Amino acid sequence: MSKNTSGKAPGSAGKSNLRNLHTKVRTAKGRKISSTLWLERQLNDPYVLRAKAEGYVSRSAYKLIEINEKHKIIKPGDRVIDLGAAPGGWCQVSVGITKSTVDKPRVVGIDYLDMNPVPGGVILKKDFLDDDAPELLMKALDNEKPDAILSDMAAPTTGHRKTDHLRTMYLVEVALDFALQVLKPGGYFLSKTFQGGTESELLSLMKKNFKSVHHVKPPSSRDGSVELYMLAKGFKG
């Protein structure tokens, strides 16, 4: 199946073809009930079905599509850095919008997890927390300042909500620090966070360096999910 790099949300026809479908999953021997419920949710999630039909590697592609349709954070010709890029949905969307090509890549993603290639984008298999990661990301863009830095990074969950929140907020801090160093004036910073309160110091830092800061939750973010996205617009430089 060819990959969708158009960066556009699917049409209503795609939605209607997937409506009213439901797959029931039986609990297999040795499988936890929670795992069965997760699998059933995946099989019946319309965004998962649409992603498969339209060639996106994950449902998360629609989160960026929806955010971008409303806030216009990525435009043709922009340069984009995607932190925590696996499995590659945000890179696919970014490549489609920016018109990034193999000869002149404008999108670079990084993750320590394995990813399939994204035509038109550069993928670095590396932990963003490594000391040399920022330099390698910028080198992939010929040291041209990015217009947008995206971060869908989240720490592996422990099951303890407060601990998970703090660990993910640390990743937000690291991503923001990188953005403040390399973003082009007027640029955008988008980062995953969790409901539970954004540290006031981090929020103050964003407001000091960007013209506006928003919390956004795209429609494709699952009901009941505690995830939010922090969007900072208009980097002051």
Burial of 102 (0-12, 13-18, 19+ CB in 10 A): exposed
Strands in 148-151's sheet, in edge-to-edge order, are 121-125, 107-111, 80-83, 148-151, 188-194, 227-235, 210-216
Cα→Cα distances 198→48, 172, 213, 214, 220, Å = 29, 10, 12, 12, 22
From 63, 192, 207, 233, active-site residue: 192
CA distance 223 to 26: 23
Strand partners, 229: 192, 216
How many whole angstroms separate alpha carbon 232 and alpha carbon 212? 6
Q: What is the distance between the alpha carbons of residues 149 and 181, in angstroms, rounded to a whole number?
A: 11
| DSSP letter assigned to residue 59 | T
User: Cα(149)–Cα(81) distance, rounded to whole angstroms?
Assistant: 5
192 a catalytic residue: yes
Q: Which residues participate in catalysis according to the annotation?
A: 192
